[in-house]
Amino acid sequence: MGDIINGKILAEDFKQKIKAQIDEAVSKGYRVPCLATIVVGNDGGSIYYANNQKKLCDKLGLKNRSIFLEETIDEKDLILLIKELNEDNTVDGIMLQVPLPKNLNEEEITNLISPYKDVDGLTDFNNGKFYKGKKAFVPCTPRSVMHLIKSTGMDISGKNAVVIGRSNIVGKPVTQLLLNENATVTVCHSRTKDLKSVCKNADILVVAMGKPKFIDDSYIKEGAVVIDVGTSSVDGKICGDVDFDKVINIASHLTPVPGGVGSVTTTLLIKNTCEAWEKNVY
């Protein structure tokens, strides 16, 4: 049986440093950081993630403005809200949960977020800098994936990595981060032929497809490191893309859902917010 990669433990070190930083700043008279979280519609994964952000902000001493909007909101009203948050000097980070409902222009709206408050790296500005190798806010979920892989002690260089999913917020940036570590990366998607055989060659398998328990032990190479990014709501519970009970018997390491990628992702989002806050208050 493989080892469970506990994201909560990995995130704890980040949390302690964040809390100490905020406590020190407040003792000197500075205001606390503030993260504004926007959720449009009733997507279970987005609501779950937003609620976790609120809980962690409360725990670490940040302010959190959780803004829940109806799916039918007029695009102009959402744009106005983002512009107001951009101009609000007491807001350091803006987190717009995606995907947005189909009636909204997601690309246009996300690019309205100030790049200096874009703490999850959604804007073209930050993406462009990231893919050019310059310092920028990088999407927190891909960064979380990399921290979890490295926590196993695996040397990523030269390994065969397979990423299932090619979204702009997970699949593509994860691929780039793995390439930065000199892995040989294959990206799979809905048009990939014989997905199972491709996955069976992976030393590292990152799954971000949005299909609960789709990946079972028949997809896994013996001893592979498997990172489950999926967060689907099934019967009121959050479920990953990997069938945990089957895969844990084949993989060397596997992340649980919840308690894996999401735990570190939320913490990194708070860390990015604190970096933006530092530039605002110091």
Tell which residue, 263, 271, 264, 277, has the closest CA to residue 17. Answer: 271
CB 184 within 8 A of CB 160: yes
Q: How far apart, in whole angstroms, are the C-alpha atoms of residue 8 and residue 105?
A: 34
What type of residue is 241?
D
3-state SS class at 190: coil
Beta strand 225-228 with 232-234: parallel, antiparallel or unpaired?
A: unpaired
In sequence order, the β-bridge partners of residue 160 are 184
Question: Is 166 labeled as ligand-binding?
Answer: yes
CB 176 within 8 A of CB 150: no
Q: How far apart, in whole angstroms, are the C-alpha atoms of residue 264 and residue 268?
A: 6
Measured CA to CA in angstroms, residue 74 lies from 38, 47, 98, 103, 104 at distances of: 14, 20, 17, 9, 8
Question: Is 191 labeled as ligand-binding?
Answer: no
DSSP string of 69-135, one letter each residue:
E-TT--HHHHHHHHHHHHH-TT--EEEE-SSPPTTS-HHHHHTTS-TTT-TT--SHHHHHHHHTT-S
Question: Is 45 labeled as ligand-binding?
Answer: no
Binding-site annotation, residues for NADP(+): 165-167, 231
Binding-site annotation, residues: 165-167, 231
